[in-house]
Amino acid sequence: MALTLTCPVCGKRNGYEFRYGGEEKGPRPDEAGITPRSWCEYVHMNQCVAGIQKEWWCHKDGCGVWFTTHRDTTCNLEVDKPEAQS
């Protein structure tokens, strides 16, 4: 157990209380005229950033909230001030 995440409701907790919900990709695109490729881009494709990424988490074993956080994937640590560092 190494990762900790800061739930906006419950505070800093053990990472295993949470569910990873993917890279932040923005709201669902409009359906009209969307091509298979751009739909796939939204659903499956990842940037796989080796560095700080914005991502979704759910505090599944706690309060259940979905939230975004910034995490550095090269050290598996949450980043306090992502804008300042990125």
Partner 1 sequence: MKRLEKLSTLRINPAKTLHFKYKNKNLKGLSGDTVATALYASGIRIFGRSLKYHRPRGLYSLDGESSNTCMQVNGIPNVCAETTLLADGMEVKAQNVAGSPETDLKGFMDKLDWAMPAGFYYRTLHKPARIWPIALKQVRKAAGLGKISAEFQMPGKYDEIYPKADVCVIGGGPAGMSAALAAAENGLRVILLETRPWLGGFFDYRTAQNGAGLSLSQSVRQAAEQLEQNSNVRIFTQTPVVGVYNNNLVTAFQKGCETDYFDERYLEIRATSVVVATGCSERPLLFENNERPGVMQIGCAHRLAQTYGLLPGKQAVFSIGHDLGLEAALDLFDLGLEVLCVADIREDGQDPALIEGLQQRNIPFLRGWVATRAHGNKTLHKVTLATIPGTLRKDFSCDLLVASAGMTPLTGPLSLAQAKLAFEPYTGFFIPRQLPAKIQVAGRLLGLNHPATIEASGRLAGTLAAGDCGVSVESRLKEAREKLNQLPGPDQGSKLVTAPVQGRKTFICFDEDTTVKNVKQALAKGFDATELIKRFTAAGTGPGQGGIPGHNLPLFVAQYHGDIKATAMPTTVRAPLVPTYIATYAGSNHDMCKRTPVHDSQKAAGGVIRRIGVWKRARYFSKDFSCRAEIENVRKNVGLLDASTLGKFRLWGPDALNALQRVYASDMSRITNGKVKYSAMCNDDACIIDDGVVVKRAENDYYFTTSTARAGATVEWIRYHTRYDGWNFHMVNLTDAFGVINMAGPNARKVLAKVTDADVSDDAFPYAAYREFMIKDTIPVRSMRLGFVGELSFELHVPSSYMQALWDLLTEAGKEFGIRHFGLEAQNVLRMEKAHLIIGSESEQRTTLHDVGLGFLWSRDKSEEKTVGAVALRQTENQEARLKLVGFKMEDPSRVPKDGSIIVDNRIRGYVCIARHSFALQEPVGLALVDAPLAGEGTRLQIYEDECNGQHLYATVVPTPFYDPEGKRIRM
Partner 2 sequence: MAVEIKRQSPISFPGNPLKTELRGHWTVMQEYEAKGDAPRVIDLSHRIRWDLQDSDIARHRPGGVSIPDTPGRCVFENGVLINRMNRTQASIWHLSGEDLSIPDDPAFTDVTDATVFLALLGKEIFSITEKLTTLDFFDPLKEAPFLLQGPFSHVPCQMVILGNTPEKSAILFTCSRGYAQDMIAAVLEAGAEFELHPAGENAFSDWVNK
Partner 3 sequence: MFGRVKPLWGEKSSLKSNYDAVIIGGGLHGLAAAYFLARDHNMRNVAVLEKRFIGFGGSGRNTAIVRANQRTQENVPLYKEALALWPVLTKDLDYNLMFFNCGNLNLMHSEAAMNAARMNVATAQFHGVESHLIDAKQCKELVPALNILADITYPIFGAMYHPPGGILRHDAIVWGLAKGAAEHGVHVHQQTEVTGIGVENGKIVSVETDKGQIKTPRVLNAAGGYSAALSYQMLGIKLPISVLTIQAMVTQPLKPLLNHVVSSGAYHAYANQTLKGEIATGAHMDSWPNYTTQTTAYYIKHQAEALAEMLPCLRGVKFMRHWGGLADMTPDMAPIMDGNDSIEGYFMDCGWGYFGFKSCAASGKYMAQFMASGNCPNMLKPFSLRRFEQHRLMGETAAVVNYTPDN
CA distance 47 to 22: 11
Does residue 61 bind partner 1 (CB under 8 A)?
A: no
The residue within the footprint of partner 2, chosen from 62, 70, 72, 82 (CB under 8 A), is 62
CA distance 70 to 82: 6
Does residue 63 bind partner 1 (CB under 8 A)?
A: no
Distances (CA, A) of 70 to 9, 29, 30, 37: 16, 23, 26, 27
Does residue 14 bind partner 1 (CB under 8 A)?
A: yes
The residue within the footprint of partner 1, chosen from 56, 62, 63, 82 (CB under 8 A), is 56
The residue within the footprint of partner 1, chosen from 66, 73, 85, 86 (CB under 8 A), is 66
Question: Token pair 């080796």 is at which residue?
Answer: 50
Indicate the DSSP class of residue 67.
E
What is the contact surface with partner 3 in residues (CB under 8 A)?
Answer: 1-3, 15-16, 19-22, 36-37, 39-41, 44-50, 53, 55-56, 58, 71, 73-76
